[in-house]
Structure 1
Amino acid sequence: MPSYDDWNKFDEDEDEELQDTSYFDRKHDVILFAIDCSQSMLALRGDPNYENTKTSRLLTALDAAVQIQKRKVVVGPYDSVGIMLYNTTRRNESGPGSEIKKGTYVYQPLSVINAPKILDLNQLIDEARDNPDLLSEDYPSTDKHIPVGDLFTSCNWVLRDGAPKSATKRVFLITDDDDPFAGLHNPRLITSARTTLIDLLQAGVSVEPFFISADYEPFNQHKFWTSILVSDSSGDDDADFLPAEISISRIDDLLEQMRFHEVPKRALFNIPFELATGLVIGIKGYNLITEQKKGSYRYFVDLGDKMEVVESRTTHVDEEREAEVNKSDVLFGMTLGATAEDEDIQEHGFGTRSVRAGRRVFYTTEEVRSLRTLDLEPGIKLLGFKDRSELVFEDNVRHSLFIFPDEDTYAGSRRTFRALLSSMVKKGKIGLVRALTRRNASPSFCALLPQEEGESEGWAEPSGFHLITLPFADDIRAAPIEEGFRAGKELIDAAKSFISKLALRNSSYPPDSYPNPALAFHYAQLEATAFREEFDPASFGDHTLPKNDTIRKKAGPLIKEWMKLLNDDKSADAVIVQSGSKRKPDVSVSEAEVRSRYETDSLMQLRVDQMKDFLKSRSLALSGKKVELAERISEWLDEHP
């Protein structure tokens, strides 16, 4: 009999996270780099990272492909990556890519991430840095730009032959030509390109462009590409889905842009949204924030000549018979009470049964599921509306989810969704809904907070609803109120003076610039192991560590002045006794008294707690015996006469 803790995982393998199971099955990511090989991409220019070295935009793009694949080794080892060059006269004579359109060349066929192929590409990049003309000699550009329709057709064929059907397939398009057919206003080229792109989208492939701007002129996507690249969401009235500006000129900028597209966006759930009786639309839910963790490890078995992954499974065994029990025969119950024998259970014939008093109560899997879900199917039901002021900050007890309309499930979902959102924003209302996002979850009451499309601090915010789980009464606890001393105006002004000096530029915090040091260190070790490289822990840089030299240079004198004012403030030495304590408020010794005892060699007459309070107020260590604490205080007094 499983314990009560096991009730939450009684049928994990049967748990249907999403109604759309095909979307849930897309566990692997497939990326095909489509890199332009035109003359402008092959043109040599100074390398900003290496002195006296020439580089090209094609080399920058290949370097970005290497960095993405190295990253995938540790965060997505089962993902696939391929590289296709276009606008080049080189052809695949045989093997993968031999049947694709003229002017395209498959340099790296689609395959699961592996170290040898990455090392080969890395070797090509090193050779190209030593011989800047290598890329133009091996991959010469064509006389004219190939039709974009042929490019998308070749991408479709490569992905069709090399990508799993259930994978998330994407094309990273990299080019610096904002008008490939300058002077040729041929609508047939645009129509052909849009038609083949729609074929790509219908095959489950999305195209994500990365445009490289020229040194003297930004990339103007409106010359050609906005008329070609359309949204992959059917029914979207906003056909222009490209950001206002996408311009990349250096490898660091290109990688920074690709980090946002490194992991494909996957919906947590795809469920119906019932607005009223008979009025239902489709929605998808996304998690806007989550904790990044180390990848899960696997067990392997050594077969001598190779290592095989161990396939684990859970079985239930009857302790008395020592025999395996079918999962369908497992019941759930609590450990209190005597064991219920078969004759103690009385069937009533209408779906219920009773157990005699003093005997344990057992539940079947279906009964546990019914108790948890209240026999509800996954979905969201609108219950009503409230004023925006009814939603307070304390209601955010969990991370909210973001829901967006799904036109593929119910036609007209997008338009109905937008009408509801705009009406709620106009009237200043929030929605109150009952939500069940997956089959084995418990229903909850949630608030729908509308968000209009806009831009905040450089970030584009899409239009949609934040699904905020509302707390129950026993989920909210009153915060303990403790008495404290307020700093004076002089002390506050002194703190403002150095805080303003240390404020971030543009008043924004870019999280991608400060990776988790523990994860970064872990990934660096895995990457070195995968590529058989030596890992030097001393070379690892933690970007989260404060730059003490810069802080001292910018605000050192101001911080010292603030510390001086703080030490002179008598309220800083006061200790507030917690409520309920029988002891009277104990005011710790001041610096003048400690210094007086130090000068008269009577420092040891202070109590240990008084010494620790003094050391703590000076940000000094509190460990050690009384003699060590006295020595530490003496050293501080000597340094601060």
Structure 2
Amino acid sequence: MAPYDDWNKVEEDDEEELQDMLLLETKKDVILFCIDCSPSMLEPREDPDDEDMPMKCHLSVALDAAMQIQKKKMISGPNDSTGILLFNTALKPQATNEQPAGLKDGMYLYQSISPLDVSKVREIQSLLDAATEDLDELKKVLPPMVGKTVAMGDVFTTCNWVFRDGAPKTASKRVFLITDRDDPQLVKGRQLITSARTNLRDMMNAGITIEPFFISTEEKPFDMSKFYNAVLQPNTFAENEDDDNERDPSVLPEAISISRIEELLAQMRIHEVPKRAQFSIPFQIAPGLTIGVKGFGLVTQHNKGAYKYFHDLGDRMEVANAKTVYVDEDRQAEVKRSNVLYGMAVGGAGEDDENPTSSTRAVKAGQRPFYTAEELRSLRTLGMEPSIKLLGFKDQSSLAFEDNTKHSVFIYPDDFTYSGSKRTFAALLKSMVKKEKVGLVLALTRRNSSPTFFALLPQQEKLDESGWMEEPGGFHLVPLPFADDIRAAKYEEGFTASQELEDAALAWISKLSLKGSGYQPDSYPNPALAYHNGQLEASAFQEEFDKDDFENLTDPNVKNIHKRAGELMRKWKEALENDESASVVAVAAAGSKRKADTSVDEEEIRSRYNSGQLAKLRVDQLKEFLKNKKQSTAGKKADLMDRVSEWFDKN
């Protein structure tokens, strides 16, 4: 019988039909850079770390960061779109049709939301090059408003309009807000804060999220408590999210507070990757009680983009669209996909079924069974629709570390599909955390996958010192392995380090441990992938790629490591060499020698005899043949060849 994977699969073109369409809803990503153009953003500043660098303003750095993100997305996400909205600027639109309807004074849509294009990037590049030579160039091209500011509520409303007019409905929409003004309202008033918060909530209800980047300097630290603490409320699982129920954090997370303008691009690169849901399915807690959840993958591998075929039309190159066609070999005619059947390669092929569309088919003896695509889907999914079904609960101690053999998926409530999902989800999470339980669920996350048993591991919401969410509350779906997926490893007791060695190792490890937020994988891109994308970017912009300028961020800083912990590492090494276990050499057990295969077919030896090539056979092969024929095996090779020849002469 052929392996299971050889027949129980549908062609790749049918994969799109089998997937849940909700997976494709956020296939595209749209980013709107909302940049403040107030006078403080246009004030030239020197780099405190490098006095030789030309003076820059916060606005030029923000535009440069937006340009770098656009360059990166042209390689990693060519189907994505970007736009740039400026506020607190005195720039007036020359053509009203280029600006969205109802645009407030002091706001200008510098680049409307549209697919990524080289001309948009070059437009920003030329402006920045001119600003490098003349510091007043940005003030001339993008003059700031003087004596008044735009209300932040109007900024959020305009962002909503820009997305409404230019962004695809099924795309993930985000606003990158960049400013250095901690108190954007010249006129104080509770009404302006309430209006900004209401308009921000309307924007978020439309599926638009906001990523703030607040620039802080030594001369003017950014104080979030003046305005933004009251507007950007932490999003928690609170059952009653009333406007009057406010938190009182003193500061916002450090991730959105930028102390140096050079950190802006680094922070944008971390937040550039959208958080896309892998699936959105119902979660059946009990009969008659169902909520909606979304699943997010916490670990994924970013590979190089798929290559494409191009058709040379002489004056231009166009992408060649691939198409799969099923052809009947006998009739040499195209066959509909619905008539294609799938079967196992068992014995000889029988005659074709005369009625392939029938729901039941009688299979004669000696013929192989065939299945339609729908029948294969039913066999794979066991007739289950994409959903999660809660089966019961167990103690958390019953979930062993080795049970996590595959990447888990993090699920979060979805109120858009089932109203009240957040409240019910929060109640279940709170109860399981309190009782230290894990759930056992049966889930089918995608239409073309198989039902799998998962452990429902709760994660309690974790807040930082300022009261902002550091880790969201939710459940980890841990795929449970089958019994034969885990092998018992052979346990051999090794040498145990002494307490002195452990203390010596702990000393230099503590010196090199990352403090604060710890290791941020988004800050260290794959060097091979970054090198590949850098070459593609240079080719797209017709620039020369200099491999010497490429920086591998994963290379360790050896100089800094030795400066901080070099002496401690040297002491640990000396202690390790003087330890008793250092002189012990582990000797591998000698393996048994494999016996050579001496079996030779009689017909092969007869063929050697007829062609006079018995000398090419080995001695052990000749002896094995004579032994099987009950002949003497004594003597040298010549004697053995003579006995073999005599036997063939007689037989």
TM-score (norm 1): 0.81
Q: Which structure 2 residues correspond to residues 166-181 of structure 1 after superposition, within 5 A?
A: 166-181=170-185
Residues 456 and 581 from structure 1, CA distance in 2 versus in 1: closer, same or farther, beyond 3 angstroms? farther
1:236-273 superposed Cα distances (whole Å, 9 cap, x missing partner): 74577995453224233222322232122111111111
Q: Which moved more, 1:172-181 or 1:189-198?
A: 189-198
CA contact (8 A) 1:206 1:232 kept: no
CA contact (8 A) 1:28 1:167 kept: yes
2:134 corresponds to which residue?
131
Q: Distance in 2 between matches of 1:220 and 1:106?
A: 28
2:476 corresponds to which residue?
466
2:529 corresponds to which residue?
519
Indicate the RMSD between aligned Cα atoms, in angstroms: 3.4
Shift of 1:484: 4.3
Q: Which structure 2 residues correspond to residues 91-490 of structure 1 after superposition, within 5 A?
A: 91-94=92-95, 95-97=97-99, 99=101, 100-142=103-145, 143-185=147-189, 187=191, 189-229=192-232, 237-238=240-241, 243-245=252-254, 246-341=256-351, 351-455=359-463, 460-482=470-492, 484-486=494-496
1:40 corresponds to which residue?
40
Shift of 1:496: 4.8
Q: Which moved more, 1:482-491 or 1:62-71?
A: 482-491
Give the letter aligned to residue 343 of structure 2. Answer: G
Q: Distance in 2 between matches of 1:342 and 1:528?
A: 55
Shift of 1:341: 2.4
1:47-96 superposed Cα distances (whole Å, 9 cap, x missing partner): 34652533222122112112211221211122221112111111111141
Secondary structure of 1:45's partner?
coil
Give the letter aligned to residue 45 of structure 1. Answer: R
Q: Distance in 1 between matches of 2:329 and 2:567?
A: 70
Shift of 1:466: 0.3
Shift of 1:18: 6.5
Q: Distance in 1 between matches of 2:353 and 2:83?
A: 66
Q: Distance in 2 between matches of 1:18 and 1:243?
A: 39
Q: Which moved more, 1:44-53 or 1:446-455?
A: 44-53
Give the letter aligned to residue 168 of structure 1. Answer: S
Q: Which moved more, 1:482-491 or 1:134-143?
A: 482-491
Shift of 1:181: 2.2
2:588 corresponds to which residue?
577
1:154-185 superposed Cα distances (whole Å, 9 cap, x missing partner): 32333333323332222212122222224531
Q: Which runs of 5+ in 2 are unaligned?
A: 595-651
Q: Which structure 2 residues correspond to residues 3-42 of structure 1 after superposition, within 5 A?
A: 4-5=5-6, 7-10=8-11, 12-13=13-14, 15=16, 19=20, 21=21, 24-42=24-42
Q: Which runs of 5+ in 1 are unaligned?
A: 584-641
Q: Distance in 2 between matches of 1:555 and 1:232?
A: 44
CA contact (8 A) 2:61 2:261 kept: yes
Give the letter aligned to residue 484 of structure 2. Answer: D
Secondary structure of 1:117's partner?
helix
Shift of 1:449: 0.4
Shift of 1:294: 1.3
Residues 177 and 558 from structure 1, CA distance in 2 versus in 1: closer, same or farther, beyond 3 angstroms? closer
2:548 corresponds to which residue?
538
Give the letter aligned to residue 123 of structure 1. Answer: S
1:627 corresponds to which residue?
none
CA contact (8 A) 1:66 1:121 kept: yes
1:560-587 superposed Cα distances (whole Å, 9 cap, x missing partner): 872685388576452332486589xxxx
Q: Which moved more, 1:218-227 or 1:119-128?
A: 218-227
Shift of 1:376: 0.6
Q: Distance in 2 between matches of 1:425 and 1:203?
A: 32
Residues 10 and 576 from structure 1, CA distance in 2 versus in 1: closer, same or farther, beyond 3 angstroms? same
Larger CA Rg, structure 1 vs 2? 2
Question: What is the identity percentage for the equivalent residue pairs of Structure 1 and Structure 2?
Answer: 53
Secondary structure of 1:251's partner?
coil
Give the letter aligned to residue 177 of structure 1. Answer: R
CA contact (8 A) 1:318 1:325 kept: yes
Q: Distance in 1 between matches of 2:235 and 2:433?
A: 27
1:614 corresponds to which residue?
none
1:90-146 superposed Cα distances (whole Å, 9 cap, x missing partner): 111114127422211122232222223212212212222322222223322222012
Shift of 1:439: 1.1
Q: Distance in 2 between matches of 1:473 and 1:558?
A: 44
CA contact (8 A) 2:151 2:184 kept: no
Secondary structure of 1:420's partner?
helix
Secondary structure of 2:272's partner?
coil
1:518-563 superposed Cα distances (whole Å, 9 cap, x missing partner): 1121122112222222222233222323344445554268448726
